[in-house]
Structure 1
């Protein structure tokens, strides 16, 4: 009975980690796609290293590596791999919780950094002698995607807003522009998704705790029975 339960646990770990490996590969591929097609380093240089594309790339690499260790360790009943898998999951959980706490503590400071970058980027885009076209391109993409205009509203643009600010009657002499600024739109977006992000972090931590429990159970069983590869 115990052997049957442990075999079930072993193959459950294999299947779960294989699925995680596939998901990690998909996340990694999506991160590469976003890196090639969505570049906002010119618009928010302060946070350029922490954009969504970089986060997806890092997450994809970490997920694929850790899940591969878990799959191989469970399949081969390798105590060294299982222990490494356990430690990596524990470190990942600590990093996730630390990052979540830092975001809560420094939420206002991060908001100020984003505002400063947007204001500076708008100054460059408003400068008729500016040679950096990347800032203008980034502003056009952000304003079209978020349906916003300027940092606070359309009056931020001088002498008039670009076409990406247009909401209706774009062909008329006096088109209608988006009323909301991009700063408040971004703030509302993060506030609306704050609960979802918190729930996702909690669920992820629960999955990691279960993975650690399964790995340690297999590790202890292999150690007691003398099966599998030695440390």
Structure 2
């Protein structure tokens, strides 16, 4: 009976880690796609080193590596791989919890930094109309139906077509009234609950993964098959 349960646990870990591996590959591919097609963090120059495409790339690589370790460790019943899998999951959970605490503590400062960077990004786009910064602003303004940081006056006399509610060719074009900062804040607030729930679910999955890995590790240690290949 115990052997049957442990076999079930082993193959459950294999299937779960294989699915996580495929998810990691998908995240990695999406990160590559975004890096090749978008450069949204040109709107915020100081945060260019932690832009979304790079974060997706790093997340995809970490997920695939950890999932591969868990899959191979369970399949081969290898104590070394299982222990590495356990430690990596534990470290990931610590990093996630630390990041969540830092975001809560420095939420206001981060908001101010993003606001300042948006102003710098908009000033840069006004100086070099037609470059990648300008196209990024166009995409954001079309996606969130907004104009500038606060309103169309942020663009001075160089208001782009993406700010127009109707055709810009008229003598008195009508611009979108809401700024992108307000729209982005509203979007983040709406998705904050979903993000929080996702983090909690992810932590629960990681704890279960650590429990399964340690259970399998202890069984293999008792059976003397610690380095079976």
Q: Which residue of 1 aligns with 2:132?
A: 134
CA contact (8 A) 1:13 1:70 kept: yes
Residue in 1 aligned with 2:220?
A: 222
Paired with 1:210 and 1:77, the residues of 2 have a C-alpha distance of 18
Q: Which runs of 5 or more structure 2 residues have no equivalent in the other structure?
A: none
CA contact (8 A) 1:154 1:179 kept: yes
- Cα contact 1:27–1:57 (8 A) shared by 2: yes
Secondary structure of 2:43's match?
coil
Deviation at 1:100, TM superposition (A): 0.7
Structure 1 residue 82, shift from structure 2 partner: 0.3
**TM-score, normalised to structure 1's length?**
0.94
Match of 2:96 in 1: 96
CA deviations over 1:170-214 (Å, ceiling 9, x no partner) = 443222221110111111111111111110000000000000000
Report the RMSD for the aligned CA atoms in angstroms.
1.5
In structure 1, the partner of 2:53 is 53
In the alignment, what sits opposite 1:20? 20
2:62 is matched with which residue? 62
Q: Within 5 Å, which residues of 2 pair with 1:206-221?
A: 206-221=204-219
Residue by residue over 1:91-147, the C-alpha shift from the partner in whole angstroms, topping out at 9 and shown as x without a partner, is: 0000001111111111111111111111122223334xx478232222112211221
2: CA distance between counterparts of 1:86 and 1:24?
A: 18
Counterpart Cα distance in 2 of 1:29 and 1:47: 22
Q: What whole-Å deviation, never above 9, does each CA across 1:137-171 have from its counterpart, x for those lacking one? A: 22112211221101101111111521011122444
Is the Cα–Cα contact under 8 Å of residues 45 and 120 in structure 2 kept in the other structure?
A: no
Name structure 1 gaps, 5 residues minimum: none
Q: Which residue does 2:194 correspond to in 1?
A: 196
Give, in angstroms, the shift of residue 42 of structure 1.
2.6
Structure 1 moving runs of 4+ over 6 Å: none
- Report the counterpart of residue 157 of structure 2 in structure 1: 159
- Contact 2:79 2:226 (C-alpha < 8 Å) held by counterparts: yes
Residue equivalent to 2:6:
6
TM-score, normalised with respect to structure 2? 0.95
The CA distance in 1 between the partners of 2:121 and 2:22, in whole Å, is: 38
Work out the CA distance in 1 between the residues paired with 2:52 and 2:124: 24
